[in-house]
Structure 1
Amino acid sequence: MTDERIRAGRTRAAWARIETWLEENAPRTHRRLPAPATEGRLRALEQELDLRIPADVRAFHLMRDGTGPASDFAWPVSHDDPEPTGYLLPDGEGIGPLEHLGQWFEGPVADARLDGRPGLRYLPITTVDPDGFYGTFVDCTPGPGYGLLGGYAEADFPTPGETTFAAYLTAFADALCEGRSLLGQRAGVTDGRLEWS
């Protein structure tokens, strides 16, 4: 089995644990999870942004197209929704739907200053708000860093990371299901919604 298939399988397993925990402990958050994306929509995004989405990120979007409804990630922010729950990851991050991924970065970044690889291709995965100025990206550049997560911030160079999306979701699932902290925060539930503190 290839590394990509292994990571896709780990993503599916981790997300199944997360959904089970949400359904049992945070039903209001669980009810607001979006429907899956389609393979056709993923291929269209790859063509539009001229990159190949790693298998673990693809596997996630084929289960859920983000961690909350598109309205939670739209700009301007809608005040019609009293309970935006899409930012359910630690540090107030959320995984937006495919329709917002290209908007956050306005396409992939090409900057050879980071590690000498020409034509870097980064795809934003998480954000902390609808502006999309801060969050996590996945490296879609063919080569050694392909599939690794990194961080991005407005007016700063992206920072490459050392872990995969599958590993991050597994740590997230462990934190929920085993009561562990993640990024210095512990999961809790208020009025049926997941919150980190």
Structure 2
Amino acid sequence: MSETPMHEAGDVREAWGRVTAWLERNDPEALAALGGPGSPEAIDEAELHIGLKLPREMRQWLLANDIDAGRQPDRPSCLVALGYEVAIPGGHLLLGLTDIQRVYLSQMALEEMQPSEDLDCPFWRREWVPFAAERDGLYGTFLDTLNGTIGMWAEAHGPEEGVYASLFAFFQETADRLEGVSSGDWRGPGKSSSPRKHDPRPEDEPIRLWARTNGYLVNDRGRIPATIREAYEVSRR
């Protein structure tokens, strides 16, 4: 586990307000694309859908800005259908309620279909709620609902817990990064580095194509669930 950065406690609305204030000054178009306030009813419905209570800190952030509010997914082939680009640690896309649910249920399904061999260090835990991810969901950032800490996961080497002490700390770091770059530079040289990417295995491409044709949700890279592999093999007999 890595050393926890500073900014351990505070009001997440204050930290997020620093991010939106920077965008208002330096990139009004990006701020406009951020979406409006979330609704308590939508958050309650999302909690029922995933079967997990969201922490107060995450609810406060989603009430301030639900990135998906009033938007409809236009990327049916991607796990992250919407997402918002800003220079957050890890370089992932911020998620709204729609994508939080999609990524969470996908990660849970993968863990259930292919349980981790090491129970002390599983691929995914039920209490983790993603709030940032790549389009294919193979890399991302989660909030641990048990202790409020922030961790990151990657298909290549598994999750890392306790990277940040809280969602407040995470957005304080985001604001620090934005305020440390020149105006308008955050999409260029000032943008945080992207996570490692891994090319898909060529032998898996026929399986992915068959899965999508037959209504299965499958990522562009990373492991293919065993149930999909088995269904594909059965279809070829």
TM, length-normalised to structure 2: 0.59
Higher strand share goes to which structure? 1
Query: Percent of counterpart pairs with the same letter?
Result: 24
Larger Rg: 2
Q: Secondary structure at the match of 1:166?
A: helix
Q: How does 1:31-42 map to 2 (within 5 A)?
A: 31-42=32-43
Deviation of residue 158 (structure 1)?
Answer: 2.7
Q: Deviations over 1:53-89 (max 9, x none)?
A: 1222111110111399856884436xxxxxx982113
Counterpart among 126, 135, 138 of residue 140 in structure 2: 135
Task: Tell whether the 8 Å contact from 1:10 to 1:166 is kept in structure 2 after alignment.
Answer: yes
Residue equivalent to 2:18: 17
Q: Which runs of 5+ in 1 are unaligned?
A: 1-5, 78-83, 180-185
Counterpart among 73, 82, 86 of residue 88 in structure 1: 86
Deviation of residue 134 (structure 1)?
Answer: 0.8
Residue equivalent to 1:81: none
Q: Which runs of 5+ in 2 are unaligned?
A: 1-7, 192-237
Residue equivalent to 2:56: 55
Alpha-carbon spacing, 1:85–1:135, altered in 2? closer, same or farther (3 Å): closer
Q: Secondary structure at the match of 2:20?
A: helix
Residue equivalent to 1:189: 184
Alpha-carbon spacing, 1:49–1:68, altered in 2? closer, same or farther (3 Å): closer
Q: Secondary structure at the match of 2:184?
A: strand
Residue equivalent to 1:158: 159
* Displaced runs of 4 or more, over 6 A: none
| 1:174 is aligned to 2:176 | yes
Cα distance in 2, alignment partners of residues 28 and 68 from structure 1: 17
Cα distance in 2, alignment partners of residues 108 and 49 from structure 1: 11
TM, length-normalised to structure 1: 0.70
Task: Tell whether the 8 Å contact from 2:84 to 2:94 is kept in structure 1 after alignment.
Answer: yes
Deviation of residue 188 (structure 1)?
Answer: 5.2
Task: Tell whether the 8 Å contact from 1:73 to 1:96 is kept in structure 2 after alignment.
Answer: no
Task: Tell whether the 8 Å contact from 2:141 to 2:153 is kept in structure 1 after alignment.
Answer: yes
Alpha-carbon spacing, 1:97–1:20, altered in 2? closer, same or farther (3 Å): same
Deviation of residue 174 (structure 1)?
Answer: 2.3
Alpha-carbon spacing, 1:159–1:68, altered in 2? closer, same or farther (3 Å): farther
Task: Tell whether the 8 Å contact from 1:136 to 1:150 is kept in structure 2 after alignment.
Answer: yes
Alpha-carbon spacing, 1:188–1:133, altered in 2? closer, same or farther (3 Å): farther
Cα distance in 1, alignment partners of residues 83 and 26 from structure 2: 14
Aligned length: 169
Task: Tell whether the 8 Å contact from 2:87 to 2:177 is kept in structure 1 after alignment.
Answer: no
